[in-house]
């Protein structure tokens, strides 16, 4: 049975959604969950669930890393945090993967130094799934594990992202694109032009440069970029979605007719919100670390936590890291 360690203290509303999501995941996916955090906070939450699955266990961790903590300081000073304990469970083979909806920077730092990176991996990458216009999911990476990436790093991100996509979204031969400012080979900056040349020669299904709009077009499955660009892209998407829905809400309240109309349209709105809701897609895996680590949004609800556990269990079951090791070593040998 696959075992996932869940940082139960990390999210904005912790530990409630973490506990509920874990109960749901244990029930639906047949995984064992180690709920890591302060027992006094976790026990009453767990007791709320009529059938606290036998496959859930509380693992004590006394400290809590907050969203305000500085990642490097939190890593050094809060060694007994739920993030540290979850990472050590993975490192020591007591869990097959970890899930956290906590401070992304801190989780990345703890994972990096506690678990280390895989052989042939120079830098880890955070991969974010996006719903696309064709009803599928496209994945953007790196969305913030690195800045100032070198061409070889982006090549590694492409290989890792392709494997994650294959394993998680059931595509045999995902289309991999390079985020740039035009489709032609010569378009882009110094970095992307060199990455283009590398990917052209690689065994993955490289479809060339793609543009910002292709995050949603559904014409490409995996989109590779430096973490500086990817992080800005991710935050633009969040900001714009909030902005559009905020304007719609305000506008729909502005007249009696539209208020009346919106009452009838509410299911349609909910449907769209659900479609673009990151929580459905199971969080962002941190690729390249020794062990499985999936990071959820701080606002994660129980459904988001449940789906993140599903994704982490799937990556562990599919032996993601063994695939990364063997396929990356082939790329390195070719270089």
Q: Does 68 bind a copy of itself (CB under 8 A)?
A: no
Token pair belonging to 220: 């490409």
C-alpha 79/C-alpha 61 separation (Å) is 9
Least distance to a copy of itself, CB of residue 82, Å: 23
Q: What would the x/- binding string for a copy of itself be over residues 82 to 121, using CB under 8 A?
A: ----------------------------------------
Question: What are the angstrom distances between the C-alpha of 297 and each of 25, 105, 168, 276?
Answer: 17, 12, 19, 14
Can you tell me which of 62, 189, 197, 326 binds a copy of itself, judged by CB under 8 A?
189
Contact flags string 255-294 toward a copy of itself, x per CB under 8 A: x-xx-xxxxxxxxxx-xx--xx------------------
Answer whether 88's CB lies under 8 Å from 95's CB: no
332 binds a copy of itself (CB under 8 A): no
Q: Taking contact as CB under 8 A, which single stretch among the options 15-23, 38-46, 229-237, 321-329 is the one that binds a copy of itself?
A: 229-237
Q: In Å, how far from its chain's centre is CA 36?
A: 19
Helices (H) and strands (E) in the chain, counts: 12, 11
Direct distance between the N- and C-terminal alpha carbons of the chain, in angstroms, rounded to an integer: 39
The residue whose two tokens read 């502005």 is 254
Edge-to-edge strands, sheet with 175-179: 56-60, 32-37, 3-7, 97-100, 292-295, 284-287, 125-131, 137-141, 222-224, 175-179, 205-210
Can you tell me which of 47, 67, 247, 330 binds a copy of itself, judged by CB under 8 A? 247
Shortest Cβ 128–a copy of itself spacing (Å): 12
CB closer to a copy of itself, 47 vs 72: 72
Binding to a copy of itself (CB under 8 A) within 122-161 occurs at: 132-133, 144, 147-148
Task: Give the footprint of a copy of itself on this chain (CB under 8 A).
Answer: 132-133, 144, 147-148, 179-181, 188-190, 192, 211-217, 225-229, 231-244, 246-248, 251-252, 254-255, 257-258, 260-269, 271-272, 275-276
């Amino acid at each position: 049975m696959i075992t996932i360690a869940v940082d139960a203290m990390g999210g904005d509303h912790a530990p409630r959604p973490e506990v509920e999501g874990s109960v749901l995941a244990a029930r639906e996916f047949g995984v064992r969950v180690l709920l890591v955090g302060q027992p006094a906070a976790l026990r009453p939450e767990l007791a709320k669930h009529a059938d606290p699955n036998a496959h859930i266990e509380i693992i004590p961790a006394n400290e809590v890393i907050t969203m305000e903590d500085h990642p490097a300081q939190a890593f050094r000073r809060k060694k007994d945090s739920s993030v540290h304990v979850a990472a050590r469970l993975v490192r020591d083979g007591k869990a097959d993967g970890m899930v956290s909806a906590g401070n992304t920077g801190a989780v990345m730092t703890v994972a990096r130094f506690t678990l280390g990176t895989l052989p042939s991996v120079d830098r880890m990458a955070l991969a974010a799934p996006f719903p696309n216009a064709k009803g599928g999911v496209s994945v953007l990476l790196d969305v913030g594990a690195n800045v100032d990436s070198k061409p070889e790093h982006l090549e590694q991100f492409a290989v890792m992202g392709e494997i994650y996509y294959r394993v998680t979204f059931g595509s045999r031969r995902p289309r991999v694109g390079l985020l740039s400012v035009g489709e032609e080979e010569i378009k882009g900056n110094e970095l992307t032009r060199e990455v283009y040349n590398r990917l052209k020669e690689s065994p993955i299904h490289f479809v060339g440069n793609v543009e910002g709009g292709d995050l949603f077009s559904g014409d490409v499955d995996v989109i590779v970029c430096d973490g500086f660009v990817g992080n800005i892209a991710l935050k633009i998407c969040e900001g714009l979605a909030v902005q559009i829905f905020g304007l719609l809400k305000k506008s729909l309240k502005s007249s009696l007719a539209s208020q009346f109309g919106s009452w009838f349209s509410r299911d349609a709105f909910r449907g769209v919100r659900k479609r673009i809701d990151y929580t459905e897609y199971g969080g962002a895996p941190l690729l390249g670390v020794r062990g499985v680590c999936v990071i959820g949004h701080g606002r994660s609800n129980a459904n988001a936590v449940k789906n993140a556990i599903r994704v982490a269990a799937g990556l562990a079951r599919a032996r993601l890291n063994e695939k990364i090791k063997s396929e990356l070593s082939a790329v390195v040998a070719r270089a």
